[in-house]
Every structure is written in C-alpha cells, then in structure tokens.
Amino acid sequence: MKYVGDETKSVVGMYPQHISGEATIAHGTAVDRRGYGSGNIHVGVGDFEGSPTNVLYTIGLQECDTETGTFTGVSLSGETYTISGECSASGVLGDGLEIAVDLKGCKAWVRPVVKVEWTGGSTPKGVVGVDLVLGEANIVPAS
C-alpha cells in the first residue's frame, strides 16, 4: 500500500489577511519548492467589511531563484483562476478554490498572489488566505 502523505508537504502560502482597495495585489509567503514536482493551491476567502456588493479575486503564482529576489508570474496552464460573486455576511458565494499546478518547470521559490477587485461599498475589504500542498516529492517521506 502506498501512503500519499509521504509524498506531500503542506505549507502556508498566505496567512489570512484583510485586503482592501481596488485592484490590490497581495503577495504570499515565498515557499521553497525544490524537491517537489507538483502542488495544489487552496484559496479561502472570508467575511467582508465596507458592504461591497461583488468581488473578484484573481489567483496567480510567481517564481524566483531566491527567497527574497524579484518574483515573476508563472503561467497556470494558460487559465485565469478566479473566485467571484455576490458579497454577503458569510462571504462570497462559492468561497473556495483549489488549483492543481505543475511545478517541474518552476524556479526554486514560488509564492501565491491574489488580486482583488470590488464593486460597490465604502472602503471595502475582505479576508483571503492561501495554503500550498506540495506533491510528487523526489525523496520520501517528504520533510
């Protein structure tokens, strides 16, 4: 029997944080992906302030050779991944997203990015958090 847990490692990609302002881009934590060939990005959004009527979160991934260098965008299979919908007291409708990514061609360090665009409200802001599950470990068990 194969235990999948030996091949994966979960890390926080972006601690839950408030994002406010139109077209604001939040950058996540740099994660060392060396030794892993794939991953899943898990995005969760939470409560809103400022009574926005709609929100659009656009999720991306950036890469860099070093942890503190200049990060550039990674194409996620040519698709745009978004969470959008009507804002309510309990969050946006359909308030989660999971994206499978191939990391084999990526540089050593990756980080998630989330761009937020609002409709309506007065100084709207909302909570977003991202977890990364790195998979296809070269050496098992994964550390």
What residues contact residue 7 under an 8 Å CB cut-off, 6+ apart? Answer: 135, 136, 137, 140, 141, 142
- Domain-wise residue ranges, the chain: 16-132
Domain 16-132, second-level architecture: Sandwich (2.60)
> Of 47 and 2, which is predicted with more confidence?
47
pTM listed for this prediction: 0.85
Q: How confident is the model at residue 47 (pLDDT cuts 50, 70, 90)?
A: confident
Q: How confident is the model at residue 122 (pLDDT cuts 50, 70, 90)?
A: confident
Cα(110)–Cα(29) distance, integer angstroms: 8
Beta strands in 21-142 (DSSP E): 24-27, 31-32, 36-49, 54-64, 72-74, 81-88, 91-92, 96-102, 109-119, 125-137
pLDDT in tens, 55-73: 888 899 999 999 999 999 9
> Of 95 and 47, which is predicted with more confidence?
47
Query: With 90 as the cut, is the pLDDT of residue 33 above it?
Result: yes
Average pLDDT value for residue range 108-127: 87
Average pLDDT value for residue range 109-127: 87
Mean pLDDT score of the chain: 84
